[in-house]
Amino acid sequence: MVRDKSVCLDFDAKMELLKAKGVQKAYGALEVLKGIDLTVEKGQVLSIVGASGAGKSTLLHILGTLDRPDAGELIIKGKSTSHLNSNELARFRNESIGFVFQFHNLLPEFTALENVMIPAFLGQKNDKEVERDAMMLMEKLGVGARAAHKPSELSGGEQQRVAVARSLINKPAIVFADEPSGNLDSKNAQELHELFFELREEMQQTFAIVTHNASLANMADRKIEIADGKII
């Protein structure tokens, strides 16, 4: 698939969606992040690479507000997250951020459709509107026919597409993906990689992706490498 990387700037040119300033994180005596400065623009696909243990996932969790930094500031959509209490942060995360993980994290007792709808229900949105939006997303991602199936009845590729639909249900400003194709075969991995860029082009969606997959990393609009707790 041939992509024009300029499309991410065709709307709201170079709008700064996320900014991290001087982010530090340590676990005991182990310094994992040693002062990260990073910006992500609206509509950008950013890949984050580095050796195992370099701090990639820790950075992603902090950028996604799943963890708090020891020092530094995180600003998303012009809002500093530093002074939000736990409830405010959870609400902001639900409304503004989506997540895709390596192992899907679908709840086995619910159908694919129900899994997609869960974040919207947590946000107390209208049931009928949520179901309509969830089905539209599943159709767009090619898994609409699997809506009534439980995760155990889906292939790995289908489960990950359901997870992507779930990440998009609240129309987030940014989606964070942690090794999203790490559990897929090469065919499904390539299809998932292309899907991210299709969603960027069709829905103006922003992605920040931690990956060991060189193909996905090199497809991104921008690639950064983490080593020894810093961007190099």
- Determine how β-strand 45-49 pairs with β-strand 206-210: parallel
Instruction: Please report, for the chain, the start and end positions of each structural domain, with discontinuous segments joined by +.
Output: 5-231
Give the tens place of pLDDT for each residue, 96-113: 999 998 788 899 999 999
Q: Both ends of the chain: CA-CA distance in Å?
A: 29
Asked whether the CA dihedral 73, 79, 81, 85 is positive or negative, the reply is positive
Question: pLDDT value at position 38?
Answer: 93
- Quote the CA–CA distance of 218 and 215 in Å, as a whole number: 5
- Quote the CA–CA distance of 60 and 99 in Å, as a whole number: 10
Residue 113: Cβ-neighbour burial (10 angstroms; 0-12, 13-18, 19+): buried
The backbone region for 171, taken as left when phi is positive above 0, alpha when psi lies in -120 to 50, beta otherwise, is left
Please check whether residue 32 is in contact with residue 79, taking contact to mean a CB–CB distance below 8 angstroms. Answer: no
- Quote the CA–CA distance of 9 and 16 in Å, as a whole number: 11
Please check whether residue 24 is in contact with residue 70, taking contact to mean a CB–CB distance below 8 angstroms. Answer: yes
Which residue type, as a one-letter code, is found at position 200? R
Strand ranges for 85-200 from DSSP E: 97-101, 174-178
Question: pLDDT value at position 232?
Answer: 87
- Determine how β-strand 97-101 pairs with β-strand 16-27: unpaired
**H-helix segments, 56-98:** 56-63, 86-96
Which superfamily, per CATH, for 5-231? P-loop containing nucleotide triphosphate hydrolases (3.40.50.300)
- Quote the CA–CA distance of 106 and 138 in Å, as a whole number: 14
Residues whose CB falls within 8 Å of the CB of residue 43, separated by 6 or more in sequence, listed in order: 7, 8, 9, 10, 11, 12, 15, 200, 204, 205, 206
Question: pLDDT value at position 6?
Answer: 36
DSSP assigned state of 145: G
Q: One digit per residue, pLDDT tens: the chain, 232 residues?
A: 334 443 333 334 458 899 999 999 999 999 999 999 999 999 999 999 988 888 898 999 999 999 999 999 999 998 899 889 999 999 999 999 999 987 888 999 999 999 999 999 887 777 888 999 999 999 989 999 999 999 999 998 899 999 999 999 999 999 999 888 888 888 888 888 888 889 888 888 999 999 888 888 888 999 999 998 899 8
Residues whose CB falls within 8 Å of the CB of residue 184, separated by 6 or more in sequence, listed in order: 156, 157, 160, 192
Question: pLDDT value at position 205?
Answer: 92
Question: pLDDT value at position 14?
Answer: 59
Which residue type, as a one-letter code, is found at position 102? Q
